[in-house]
């Protein structure tokens, strides 16, 4: 009987992943890549099973997140910044903190939320850490056209923390490396969090994160604009035959080169757009005028 238990868990996790995908109406073109994605997500769900039986206390999660955030902030710090750069970075981070806290007010968990700025146009991503830390890259901010988009992105990352995706990742890393949680802190690479989660979890974070932004008074049209930018980048990333070479294209090419991991770990933009539009229709979300993005980050 004991020998059959692992098989039973695997089958149950696989069935659960399929049911979850059907329930969320996740669509994908039938292809070998889609099958590999489904298999990878099922495997991810299997590895999540042990974490569900041992929910990390909030105090431990916060302590771990604080230590990881301090370490990662040092890794992303500018090399010999000017006074003007430091002032602009501080202004940007304060802005992220203001918007992030307003969105996180509607989260399920009441945590000490902190929002950090990564001053690198090559970092076209955002990620969250256990306990309430969220990092946003300059490269991602450059793609945004409104504060509404920023609110949804921050809501997406808050949701990863809110639903314990982040602390599950820490527990699994500690387990796989055969380390206690304190020992894991010294060796967990940042890629563990920047690599993203399963497609199901990413869509879950889109859904709940955009809902948080809408509850805060933002328009869902903001995140749709950002997903449209992602769709363009996806097309360019998968079509190296592009021959345009103006200065803007050169800047975008640099960004596209950094997006391979992001595209690999997140659902296609078309799927994300479809989900938001379905939520807008089902919940009759209002679409107030988009708010300008008030950042000292130069637009592309």
178 domain residue, yes or no: yes
For the chain, what is the domain count?
A: 1
Confidence of residue 114 (pLDDT cuts 50, 70, 90): very high
> pLDDT value at position 180?
65
pLDDT band of residue 281 (cuts 50, 70, 90) is very high
CB atoms within 10 A of CB 3: 6
Query: For residue 224, is it within any domain?
Result: yes
Condensed to tens digits (0 to 9), the pLDDT of residues 158-179 reads 999 999 999 898 888 877 776 6
pLDDT of residue 46: 41
Quick one: angle between helices 147-162 and 221-237, nearest 10? Answer: 90
Model confidence over 203-228: pLDDT tens digits?
999 999 999 999 999 999 999 999 99
Tell me whether residue 121 is in a domain: yes
- Collapsing DSSP to helix, strand or coil, 131 comes out as coil
Q: Is residue 261 part of a domain?
A: yes
Task: Give residue-wise pLDDT tens across range 182-204.
Answer: 655 666 888 889 888 999 999 99
Tell me how far the alpha carbon of residue 118 is from its chain's centroid: 14
Give domain status of residue 264, yes or no. yes
Please, are residues 111 and 58 in contact by the beta-carbon 8 Å criterion?
yes
- 113 within some domain: yes
40 versus 142: which is more confidently predicted?
A: 142
Residue 174 has what pLDDT? 78
Residues sharing a CB contact under 8 Å with residue 149, sequence separation 6 or more, in sequence order: 222, 223, 225, 226, 293
Interstrand relation of 114-118 and 133-137 (parallel, antiparallel or unpaired)? parallel
| Residue at 6 is within a domain | no
Domain holding 172, by residue range, is: 38-283
Q: Please report whether residue 65 resides in a domain.
A: yes
Both tokens assigned to 108: 């399920």
Cα dist. 20→13, 37, 161, 198, 199 in Å? Answer: 10, 14, 20, 12, 11
pLDDT in tens, 80-97: 999 999 999 999 999 999
What is the crossing angle of helices 247-256 and 221-237, to 10°?
90
């Amino acid at each position: 009987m004991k020998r059959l238990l692992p098989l039973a868990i695997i089958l149950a996790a696989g069935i659960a992943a399929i049911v979850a995908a059907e329930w969320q109406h996740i669509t994908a073109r039938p292809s070998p890549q889609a099958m590999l994605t489904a298999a990878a997500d099922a495997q991810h769900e299997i590895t999540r099973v042990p974490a569900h039986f041992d929910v990390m206390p909030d105090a431990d999660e916060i302590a771990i997140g604080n230590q990881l955030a301090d370490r990662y902030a040092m890794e992303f710090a500018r090399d010999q910044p000017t006074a003007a750069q430091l002032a602009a970075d501080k202004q940007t981070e304060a802005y992220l903190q203001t918007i992030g806290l307003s969105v996180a007010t509607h989260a399920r968990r009441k945590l000490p939320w902190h929002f950090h700025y990564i001053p690198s146009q090559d970092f076209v991503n955002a990620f969250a850490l256990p306990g309430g830390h969220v990092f946003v890259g300059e490269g991602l901010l450059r793609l945004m056209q409104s504060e509404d988009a920023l609110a949804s992105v921050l809501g997406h990352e808050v949701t990863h923390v809110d639903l314990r995706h982040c602390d599950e990742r820490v527990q699994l890393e500690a387990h796989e490396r055969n380390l206690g949680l304190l020992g894991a802190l010294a060796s967990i690479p940042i890629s563990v969090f920047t690599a993203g989660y399963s497609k199901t979890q990413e869509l879950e974070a889109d859904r709940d994160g955009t809902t948080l932004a809408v509850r805060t008074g933002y328009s869902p049209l903001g995140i749709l604009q950002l997903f449209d930018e992602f769709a363009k980048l996806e097309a360019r990333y998968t079509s190296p035959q592009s021959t345009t070479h103006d200065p803007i294209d050169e800047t975008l090419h640099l960004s596209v080169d950094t997006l391979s991991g992001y595209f690999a770990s997140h659902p296609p933009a078309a799927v994300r757009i479809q989900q938001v539009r379905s939520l807008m229709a089902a919940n009759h979300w209002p679409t107030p005028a988009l708010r300008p993005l008030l950042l000292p980050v130069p637009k592309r």
